[in-house]
Structure 1
Amino acid sequence: MAATMDKENNDSEPDPYDTDEGDDYVPDDHSDSSENDETEHVTPRKTKKRRKNIALWKRNEKKRLRTAGKMYEGHKGKIRAERNLRPFVHTCRYSCSKMSEAERQTFFDKFYNIPTYDLQTAFLASCIQKCEVVRRSQRAECNRRFSTKIMVSNMRVCKAFFLKTLDISNRRFTTVCEKVDRFEYCNVNQKPLVKLSYYRHTFNTEFNHQFHKPHSDTCSKCDKLNNIIKNSNNENEVSISKVSLELHQRKAQKACEMKKMDAENSKALDDTIAICFVLQQTLPTPLLTTSKVFYLRQLWTYNFCIHNLGTGEARMYTWDETVLVEVPKK
């Protein structure tokens, strides 16, 4: 009966250590390699929302290939060929024939190593100069405001040589010239290069600056006059406070201007020294974040700063309240 039960148990639960190999079986060195690889491979943590990776977008990958001058597939499925240095030999009045093939290849590689399209446009714009027209034709269509000068490695070249060297289209060159013309027009007529809306969009999306009045270390006289203006019911007192506040702020502005003037004089004149001193904020010692310290009395440390406005040198004098309790007034 016991033998029958053992046989049934053996049939229902096979031995996990039982193998088909004999006693002379020797394990292979690479038998557990797949298991080790699976244990060493760490899968990325799954999140609730899918993370956006702009660098892996197909559209951006095509843009990178296009900017680098590599072969890529257009948005309509057309294969665009790779950019190469095109052979171009001719004779003109400029220095095209003086540039060797090695210099052309260096200029070509320098252009296509630029990572973005906008920086490439700026590079092309740096090679294009606008100068006054020397001779004007009688035809109306030839009355241009500027004459285009193309410079490559401090040598003036013609437009055809420039396009063949970089393997770019005439449309790309014309677009860059239009941007250079717009830049020159804005400089001559003193107009802003970008619109206020574009500046506001960049400021609000690329930066995280905040503007507000200081919440601490404010002027006591300004606070007093502002409280009277906001809370007083006496119109005469409010009007007097407004005049006093305006006069006080003008004096403060005048003091700042005089301080700036003294700093400039101390830098220009050897016999003039301008210093600025201030008693800075008292510091609790030691500075701890424990909740019990909030209810205990701490040792206060004072810091007195003397700043040389001419040399930029600053000296700090520190002491605690056991040395001197009464601190000098500002």
Structure 2
Amino acid sequence: MELSDVDSPPTSPDVAGPSAGRKRQRTPARHKRAVAKEKRNKGEPYTSPASHRAMPQRVIGAACRDGCFSKVTMPGVQAIFSAFWAIGDYNLQNAYIQKMVAIMPIARKRTAAEVSRRSISRAYQVTYNNVTTKVCFSGFMAMHGISKRRIDNALRKMTHTSVPVPDQRGRHTPCQQDCGRESRACFYLDSTLTIRKLYDMYLSWMAQTYPQESRVTFHYYSDVFRKDFNISFAPPKVDTCTTCDTINMTITNATTDGEKLAQQAKLDEHLKEARAAQDFVKRLKNDNDENTRAVCMDLQQILPTPKLHTGIAYYKRKMWTYNFCIHNIKTGESTMFVWYETVAKRGSIEVARCLKKWLDMEKEKGEFYEPRRRQ
């Protein structure tokens, strides 16, 4: 067999490609908020994800008193209404409104006050069959099925150069979050908690304290929890220090301030000794004496053997496998001594035999053995 035959990938169409995994793919376009937004921009009926209210479909309003519908004709009104909502984009609809509404200074001042509340005037127009027709304010709203608020918002987003400003809703970061993210300390909750459990606790608290008030959705609760608060879930601690756990439990259950201070001083002294031992290990690590060995020994976690997920194996008693590690601090090399419970136990005799075996292995390397430094 040639090397090219081994390295060349299979070209058979029957060979399956890499698995995509079982993780669901994100489909933002199918989210409730995205679907409701799309229908709202098209004037179709939808259900609000926030208030759960059913919003009706957009329709042409009542004809105005100035006869604007007669000037445009009903087919033209229907065409203008359908074309406006067929855009389906909030920013493009705003640009259309800004184009069809002309802003000009007031022609005549109707108040004696020096500063009038109304400083500008608006002229509305529509286009049908390439013919532009001036209409009144009520007729413009009715032809497009929109409100005064929608027109005001669209004109407010236009700059002095008549360049429209894109819609910024949902696209900005709260100032409080920007200013406080770096300065706030991170708080940790119990590792057994989740956002779903916290939300269930919130619902229970609301039912007991404010039974008549409405509840926020889980999506809103989770969004606020993640963005507005610097809170995380602490990972579970394993193989912790017995002395630290005992003293911390005593401090938690202490009834007087004097007892708490005494136990805290005891804990500080214990931590001081631990830091001194760590500093001593660091000095040994940087020692260049070839005749000195600095090691760390650990009888690691017991391994159940065999490790199977079959149903019948779940109810069978596993055989314990022991692993004793000797780590050379200077060279960074680790030696593992592995045996199972039918061979020997895990007492002081077994540990001493492993240590003697390691010393014999080091002696065989020679008297002038030079440790290999870490890169």
* Both proteins in one fold, TM over 0.5: no
TM-score of the aligned structures, taking structure 1 as reference length: 0.39
TM-score of the aligned structures, taking structure 2 as reference length: 0.35
